[in-house]
Amino acid sequence: MFLEDTIKHSKKGGWIEVICGSMFSGKTEELIRRLRRAEFARLRVEIFKPKIDVRYSEEHVVSHDENSISSTAVDSAQNILLLSGDVDVVGIDEAQFFDNGLVEVCNTLANSGLRVIVAGLDMDFRGKPFGPIPSLLAIAEYVTKVHAICVRCGSLANHSHRTSEDEKLVVLGETNIYEPLCRKCYQDDLSAEKKRKR
């Protein structure tokens, strides 16, 4: 588990943490856990998410266990800069949906002394690195990869497998068309699909 007291930074320096993984891996829960602890420490916390993610609520980051914390939806990564004056910790949820400008924004925030905690999907449903997440992993001081459980075999799952035929990258409001799969089960499913299409 990530513990803040293992961080040996100078008091004035900021840093970047990334929490990544597949769907149903507990990314948002982990983000909320860290932000709550920052609030307990009387730090000023602000949370952002992309406007595109309106699955449950306009004002709240909501994880699947309904453990929520209030947040602001923004149009672009640049708006995070404008809205994070006067805070100590910035949380960013569903970061994969932001443009690549998010990388520079996170650097700017951390350089100015803020703690930045980013949560997002590392891979899309095709198994390809998702949006700005790969670059964020490269520049972050701390990376936590969380896993779901494969619904077919019970191993650790790293894939968000889409059970519908829709090829669009973002299907809004449709968490029920995804299932977590491990590498082996995901590959088995791909080859079965290829055979079907032949």
Known catalytic residues are 94
Which of 107/155 has CB closer to Zn ion?
A: 155
Q: Binding Zn ion by CB under 5 A: which of 150, 158, 162, 178?
A: 150
Backbone angles phi, psi at 19, to 5 degrees: -115, 115
Q: Are 75 and 101 in contact (CB under 8 A)?
A: no
Q: Does 147 bind Zn ion (CB under 5 A)?
A: no
Q: Exposure string (b/e) for 28-38, b if CB count within 10 Å is 16 or more?
A: bbbbbbbbeeb
Which residue type occupies 103?
Answer: V
148: contact with Zn ion by CB under 5 A: no
* CB nearer to Zn ion: pick between 67 and 163: 163
First to last CA, the chain: 46
Report the candidate in 129, 187, 176, 182 with the shortest Cα–Cα distance to residue 159.
182
Question: Which of 153, 169, 170, 192 lies at the binding interface for Zn ion (CB under 5 A)?
Answer: 153
CB of 128 to Zn ion, least distance (A): 20
Stretch that binds Zn ion, among 7-15, 117-125, 126-134, 148-156 (CB under 5 A): 148-156
Q: How far is the CB of 9 from Zn ion (least distance, A)?
A: 38
Outline where 7-111 has alpha helix (H): 27-40, 78-83, 101-111
Find the binder of Zn ion among 19, 81, 116, 182 (CB under 5 A). 182
Interface with Zn ion includes 152 (CB under 5 A)?
yes
User: How many residues touch Zn ion (CB under 5 A)?
Assistant: 6
State the minimum distance, in angstroms, from the CB of residue 127 to Zn ion: 14
Question: Could you please report the per-residue DSSP string of 54-83?
Answer: -SS-SSEEE-TT--EEE-EEESSTHHHHHH
Nearer to Zn ion, 37 or 152 (CB): 152
As measured in angstroms, the least distance from the Cβ of 184 to Zn ion is: 5
Q: Cα–Cα distance between 39 and 140 in angstroms, integer? A: 22
Q: Which residues bind to Zn ion, rule: CB under 5 A?
A: 150, 152-153, 155, 182, 185
